[in-house]
Amino acid sequence: MPLLKKENQYSKANNMDKETLIQVHNNVKPYIHETPVLTSELINEICDCHVYFKCENFQKMGAFKMRGAINAIQNLTSKQKENGVVTHSSGNFAQAISLASKYLNIKAYIVMPENAPQVKKDAVLNYQGIIVECKSNIKAREIEAERIVKNENATFIHPSNDDQVILGQSTSAKELLEKQSDLDIILTPVGGGGLLAGTALSAKYFSSNCEVIGAEPENVDDAYRSLKSGKIEYNKNTSTIADGLRTNLGDRNFPIILENVKKIIRVSEEEIINAMKLVWERMKMVIEPSSAVPLAALLKEKQNFKNKKVGIIISGGNVDLTNLPF
Amino acid sequence: MPLLKKENQYSKANNMDKETLIQVHNNVKPYIHETPVLTSELINEICDCHVYFKCENFQKMGAFKMRGAINAIQNLTSKQKENGVVTHSSGNFAQAISLASKYLNIKAYIVMPENAPQVKKDAVLNYQGIIVECKSNIKAREIEAERIVKNENATFIHPSNDDQVILGQSTSAKELLEKQSDLDIILTPVGGGGLLAGTALSAKYFSSNCEVIGAEPENVDDAYRSLKSGKIEYNKNTSTIADGLRTNLGDRNFPIILENVKKIIRVSEEEIINAMKLVWERMKMVIEPSSAVPLAALLKEKQNFKNKKVGIIISGGNVDLTNLPF
């Protein structure tokens, strides 16, 4: 925060006050599930605290991303809606934008690398997204997305670095706090930063004293380093099983994170896989590797959470059942 | 029903009226989870009806069996409690009796075949059950259980053919109907018959007009044949992936089923696996093969369920993650 003020390199969004979050939640409600909050005695015993899992794996299209996608599209002008939206993603946001666009009856162009797995392409097609293929590198993706913006007058929506996406993602923690108002801590995974920023906003407005902590794979610890240095850091490689967390923070969500999040815990690949298996075996839930990162973080620093009430956002459940890490 | 009356070979329990079921539910409540009822738009679309999943895979020890085990033990005399209980099972009931006994602070002897998988033995030991090994055949199991009954004065509790177990199992459908009172149909798997009988009782007392249908693997269709012939039929082999459904009906639950259940639908092994995969992929839930049998039955006879409100009891989620059928 002091760093931010000194450097003044990122500007915060204007309309992210409490009233806005309440309005956003009301707007997205008709299009999302109010996902359940589940607990497990056995996991409480193992963790030596009380854990409340907010199950976005049960969300429409299987991940919290639906919340941000719906809100972003709802906030377009009529003219923008006419021309449709474009994003580049081969993961959950591609599905979220496709399904949200289907609900709101607009066109969604999804730029995907030509070598993306067929199962991911099928998911987008299933939700009536229009796939535009490109070479498998970030530059090619961006060029293709820009081309569509120009040629089709489509509006680009970033998966995490977009104010309306961040606001949409805030609704998950808001619901969690409505069900469990006395949480001491909420843990979320951090990849692009949209969920962490949104969660931090909800904790700020809808709890009295709830701390928000990020959890990140050691192999892609850009957010951890960014929080330390006060500026957005990048990953040299993206080799982690937590495929939803390979991306970087952006100038829209980083200021919020910098102001409201004091800590990011890093975990190893093995810790992620063990936490994932624990949830599958003991909670009988299908969660994707990225979703296991916060529980892995809690287990790693157990002593710091002792007897506390800890919310964990289970971010999603989209995983290839024929290729499990255990 | 006419057959039953004519043959008069099975006697019905006396105390299975509405008041008893309410009392049983109150008694078991402190020891069980009120499991959630989940829905999936996508599965509704595929099934062309409204499906309400009562998720006993989220129950303590991972299956509905906990309900019957708790109720059976609660109904023992003080003297019986002192001497402990015995059952023979290598599946969910072994875990249920172990955990229920742990809660109620009594001894539980679990007779298990010596070649039972270590993971199942560990689950029982984890809940402080006392494992007694025997040869791997039904006769050896029964002899060993009888020996413990004699030597330890322990009380034998059958996994499904026991009035108090049946009453305990009724509480799942009772909770389902409390959340969704307008169900047209409830589908449950049928193995030993405890869940189906208990569900039939709850539908009779706590719904206005809800039909109960059983679902069974073709390979072990003893309940289907029993309902046709009016007497308990047996399986020649027990080869099905639905390992919880290999057992036979008994003289305590069959009269209830005969009187209250009009139909049992049989499904193939492939249909079971497909339904199981559908729930894992689309509902993000870990369910065991036995739990997929009712959904497989619904999909098989889709036309008969069109636009109806159908409850499905997801019986459990205990499955070996390293040995999945897909």
Q: Looking at residue B149, which CATH number applies to its domain?
A: 3.40.50.1100
- Minimal C-alpha gap between A211 and chain B (Å): 28
Test B280 with A324 for CB contact under 8 angstroms: no
Test B326 with A322 for CB contact under 8 angstroms: yes
Confidence of residue A83 (pLDDT cuts 50, 70, 90): very high
Mean pLDDT for the stretch of residues B74-96: 95
Same domain, B171 and B57: yes
* B283 and A CB contact within 8 Å: yes
CA distance B152 to B140: 18
Instruction: Give the number of other CB atoms < 10 A from CB of residue B188.
Output: 33
Answer yes or no: is A325 within a domain.
no
Residue A2: per-residue pLDDT: 36
- Minimal C-alpha gap between B242 and chain A (Å): 17
User: Which residues of chain B neighbour A322 with C-beta distances below 8 Å?
Assistant: 326
CB distance B106 to B153 below 8 Å: no
* Catalytic-role residue among A65, A120, A121, A204: A65
Residue of B nearest to A325 (CA): B322
Same domain, A241 and A273: yes
User: Which residues of chain A neighbour B38 with C-beta distances below 8 Å?
Assistant: 36, 58
Taking CB atoms and an 8 Å cut-off, how many pairs form between chains A and B? 44
Residue A136: per-residue pLDDT: 84
| The model's pTM | 0.92
Q: Which residue is associated with the tokens 């990162």?
A: A293
Exposure string for A221-250, b = 16+ CB within 10 A, e = fewer: bbbbbbbeebebbebeeeebbbbbbbbbbb
CB distance B107 to B101 below 8 Å: yes
Residue A8 has pLDDT above 50, yes or no: no
Amino acid at A261: V
CA B16 to chain centre: 18
* A286 and B CB contact within 8 Å: yes
CA B286 to chain centre: 17
Residue B14: per-residue pLDDT: 63
Last residue of a domain, one of B108, B123, B156: B156
Answer yes or no: is B322 within a domain.
no
Test A281 with B321 for CB contact under 8 angstroms: yes
Residue A12: per-residue pLDDT: 57
A309 among known catalytic residues: no
Residue B273 has pLDDT above 80, yes or no: yes
How many domains does chain B divide into? Answer: 2
Answer yes or no: is B142 within a domain.
yes
Question: Which pair of tokens denotes residue B145?
Answer: 């259980």
CA distance A213 to A80: 36
Q: What is the mean pLDDT of chain B?
A: 94
Same domain, A94 and A57: no
Residue B49 has pLDDT above 60, yes or no: yes
Answer yes or no: is A320 within a domain.
no
Partner residue facing A58 (CB), from B284, B317, B322:
B284
The Cα-based distances of A284 to A103, A191, B279, B282 in angstroms read 30, 25, 12, 14
Residue A6 has pLDDT above 90, yes or no: no
User: Which residues of chain A neighbour B317 with C-beta distances below 8 Å?
Assistant: 284
Instruction: Looking at chain B, list the stretches that DSSP marks H as alpha helix, in order from N- to C-terminal side.
Output: 2-7, 18-28, 41-47, 65-74, 78-83, 92-103, 118-126, 138-152, 163-179, 194-206, 222-229, 254-260, 269-278, 289-300
Residue A287 neighbours by CB under 8 Å, 6+ apart: A57, A276, A279, A280, A314, A316, A317, A319, B284
Question: Which pair of tokens denotes residue A251?
Answer: 């100038």
CB distance B307 to B49 below 8 Å: yes
Answer yes or no: is B242 within a domain.
yes
Partner residue facing B36 (CB), from A36, A41, A283:
A36
Same domain, B76 and B58: no
Partner residue facing B58 (CB), from A62, A284, A322:
A284
Residue B58: per-residue pLDDT: 94
- Minimal C-alpha gap between A198 and chain B (Å): 24
Partner residue facing A286 (CB), from B41, B286, B322:
B286
Residue B155: per-residue pLDDT: 98
User: Which residues of chain A neighbour B60 with C-beta distances below 8 Å?
Assistant: 41
Q: For the segment B280-321, what is each residue's pLDDT rounded down to a tens digit?
A: 999 999 999 999 999 999 999 999 999 999 999 999 999 999
The catalytic residue positions of B are 65, 90
CB distance B225 to B174 below 8 Å: no
Partner residue facing B38 (CB), from A58, A62, A287:
A58
Helix, strand, coil percentages in chain A from 3-state DSSP, rounded to 5:
50, 15, 35
Same domain, A120 and A244: no
Residue B149 has pLDDT above 60, yes or no: yes
Residue of B nearest to A316 (CA): B284
Order of all β-strands in the sheet with A37-38: A37-38, A50-55, A309-314, A185-189, A211-217, A263-267
Q: For the segment A44-54, what is each residue's pLDDT rounded down to a tens digit?
A: 999 999 999 99
**DSSP states along B287-318:** --HHHHHHHHHHHHTGGGGTT-EEEEEE-B--
Give, in degrees to the nearest 5, the angle at Cα B7 between B3 and B10: 100
CB distance B111 to B130 below 8 Å: no
Last residue of a domain, one of B156, B177, B211: B156
Same domain, A122 and A222: no
Answer yes or no: is B229 within a domain.
yes
CA distance A95 to B187: 32
Q: For the segment A102-148, what is each residue's pLDDT rounded down to a tens digit?
A: 999 999 999 998 888 888 899 899 999 999 999 988 899 999 999 99
* B122 and A CB contact within 8 Å: no
Residue of A nearest to B36 (CA): A36
B219 burial (CB, 10 Å; 0-12 / 13-18 / 19+) is: buried
The torsion defined by the Cα of A304, A305, A306 and A310, in degrees rounded to 10, comes to 170
Confidence of residue B4 (pLDDT cuts 50, 70, 90): very low
Residue A5: per-residue pLDDT: 38
Residue B119: per-residue pLDDT: 82
CB distance B123 to B112 below 8 Å: no
Instruction: Looking at chain A, list the stretches that DSSP marks H as alpha helix, in order from N- to C-terminal side.
Output: 2-7, 18-28, 41-47, 65-74, 78-83, 92-103, 118-126, 138-152, 163-179, 194-206, 222-229, 254-260, 269-278, 289-300
- Minimal C-alpha gap between B64 and chain A (Å): 14
**Domain range holding B45?**
2-62+162-314
Partner residue facing B322 (CB), from A60, A287, A326:
A326
Order of all β-strands in the sheet with B130-134: B130-134, B108-113, B85-88, B155-156
Residue A226: per-residue pLDDT: 98
Partner residue facing B321 (CB), from A58, A60, A280:
A280
Same domain, A195 and A281: yes
Answer yes or no: is B220 within a domain.
yes
Residue A3: per-residue pLDDT: 38
Q: What is the mean pLDDT of chain A?
A: 94
- Minimal C-alpha gap between B138 and chain A (Å): 29
Test B287 with A285 for CB contact under 8 angstroms: no
A165: nearest Cα among A141, A196, A187: A196
Same domain, B57 and B191: yes
* Catalytic-role residue among A54, A60, A89, A90: A90
Q: For the segment B98-129, what is each residue's pLDDT rounded down to a tens digit?
A: 999 999 999 999 999 888 888 889 989 999 99
* A45 and B CB contact within 8 Å: no
Q: Which of A78-87, A286-295, B239-248 has the lowest mean pLDDT?
A: B239-248
Test A286 with B284 for CB contact under 8 angstroms: yes
Same domain, A226 and A105: no
Residue A13 has pLDDT above 60, yes or no: no
Give, in degrees to the nearest 5, the angle at Cα A157 between A153 and A159: 155
Confidence of residue A15 (pLDDT cuts 50, 70, 90): confident
* A277 and B CB contact within 8 Å: yes
Residue B252: per-residue pLDDT: 97
The helix-helix angle for B18-28 and B194-206 (nearest 10°) equals 120
Same domain, A95 and A242: no
CB distance B184 to B126 below 8 Å: no
In a mutational test of the B interface, the residue from A37, A120, A284 whose CB has the highest number of chain B CBs within 10 Å is A284
Same domain, B167 and B145: no
Test B322 with A322 for CB contact under 8 angstroms: no
Answer yes or no: is B7 within a domain.
yes
Confidence of residue A1 (pLDDT cuts 50, 70, 90): very low
Task: Tell me what percent of the residues of chain A surpass a pLDDT of 70.
Answer: 96
Q: What is the complex's ipTM, to 2 decimals?
A: 0.90
Maximum separation of any 2 CA atoms in chain B, in Å: 57
Residue B116: per-residue pLDDT: 85
The Cα-based distances of B257 to A219, A287, B22, B159, B289 in angstroms read 57, 38, 20, 16, 23
Test A281 with B57 for CB contact under 8 angstroms: no
The Cα-based distances of B321 to A161, A262, B13 in angstroms read 37, 37, 40
User: Which residues of chain B neighbour A126 with C-beta distances below 8 Å?
Assistant: none
Q: For the segment A214-267, what is each residue's pLDDT rounded down to a tens digit?
A: 999 999 999 999 999 999 999 998 899 999 999 999 999 999 999 999 999 999
Same domain, A89 and A203: no
Question: Which pair of tokens denotes residue A162?
Answer: 């977009």
Taking only residues 53 to 82 of chain B, the set having a beta carbon closer than 8 angstroms to any beta carbon of chain A reads 57-58, 60, 62
Give, in degrees to the nearest 5, the angle at Cα A295 between A292 and A296: 80
Residue A150 has pLDDT above 70, yes or no: yes
Last residue of a domain, one of A156, A182, A209: A156
